[in-house]
Amino acid sequence: MQTFRDDLLAGKVAFVAGGTSGINLGIAKRYAQLGAKVAVCGRNPEKAANAAREIGPDALGLSADVRDYAAIRGAMEQVVDRFGKMDIVVSGAAGNFLAPVLGMSANAFRTVVDIDLNGTFNVFRGCHDLLNLPGASLIAITAGQAINASALQAHACAAKAGINQLIRVLALEWGPHVRVNGISPGPIANTEGMARLAPDSATRQSHFDRIAMKRWGEIEEVAECAVFLSSPAAAYITGTILDCDGGSQIGDASRMDLSKGMA
């Protein structure tokens, strides 16, 4: 995909929390391709080291749990020690599983809210004085569950809805110096998220049917949105949630029968 100039992010420093696999790793790789110095972070140190190797020789793979403020702050301090102040921070760590409320303990609900929502607070609160100001770009990875109530997803719906509001509040409070936006991916192929949320062929088919564009997205397509939001092309965009979802949020395309009313 040739969408941006190869040196678009030269001289920039990017940190991706939860960037050791899936969509967030795709974002980290694309930032590095476009010239940024990139650090990624997850809980598993071996996975983080492998991700850094995949990204490139200069990438940094760190280990911290976003639920632990001191730990994630420490990871971001390491990024600044190595590369200098950060220009781009992505908060994408998440946990998810399908469970009805009555099949979910208080700790199960808290765990997902803690990783997704409190983790995003910790990453963004912790990064502020480590940013290159003005002009820094923060991106939280949210999801359609923030808007659409989904059975078996009470924890993720609550957490991602909270993230959407946190994005807007931070955009208001940090307006002149830091842009704060979100990306809401639809179902993305070859990800842990979809392996968990659509584990069988019937569920996968229903996801296809519902989407206007009749396909799942690619990790690279989400990465292009992250590059756009972090680039000068988005200089006047803050507090927005960019849907990268093939039209998933518009409505349920499986309910339409377009043959009706045709001549």
Residues engaged in binding ligand NAP (CB under 6 A): 18, 20-24, 42-44, 47, 65-67, 92-95, 115, 141, 143, 185, 187-188, 191-194
Query: Which residues are paired to 89 by β-bridges?
Result: 15, 138
Give me the least distance between CB of 199 and ligand COA, in Å please. Answer: 11
Give the C-alpha separation, 120 to 26, whole Å. 19
Kindly tell me which of 36 and 113 has the beta carbon lying closer to ligand NAP: 113
Site for ligand COA in 148-207 (CB under 6 A): 192-193, 196
**Tokens in use for 65?**
């749990």
Nearest-CB residue for ligand NAP: 22
Query: Which residues are paired to 242 by β-bridges?
Result: 183
For the chain, how many residues are written?
263
Kindly tell me which of 91 and 238 has the beta carbon lying closer to ligand COA: 91
**Residue 102 in contact with ligand COA, rule: CB under 6 A:** no
20 binds, among ligand COA, ligand NAP, none (CB under 5 to 8 A by kind): ligand NAP
CA angle 18, 157, 101 (to 5 degrees): 115
Give me the least distance between CB of 114 and ligand COA, in Å please. Answer: 8
23 binds, among ligand COA, ligand NAP, none (CB under 5 to 8 A by kind): ligand NAP
**Tokens in use for 260?**
């009706």
- Residue 202 near residue 230, CB atoms below 8 Å: no
103 binds, among ligand NAP, ligand COA, none (CB under 5 to 8 A by kind): ligand COA
State CA 216 to chain mean position distance: 17
47 binds, among ligand NAP, ligand COA, none (CB under 5 to 8 A by kind): ligand NAP
188 binds, among ligand COA, ligand NAP, none (CB under 5 to 8 A by kind): ligand NAP
Give me the least distance between CB of 44 and ligand COA, in Å please. Answer: 9
Residues whose CB falls within 8 Å of the CB of residue 91, separated by 6 or more in sequence, listed in order: 17, 18, 66, 119, 120, 123, 124, 138, 139, 140, 141
Q: Which of 183, 250, 189, 244 is nearest to 215 (CA)?
A: 189
The C-alpha R_g of the chain, in whole angstroms, comes to 18
Residues that bind ligand COA (CB under 6 A): 94-97, 99, 103-105, 107-108, 111-112, 192-193, 196
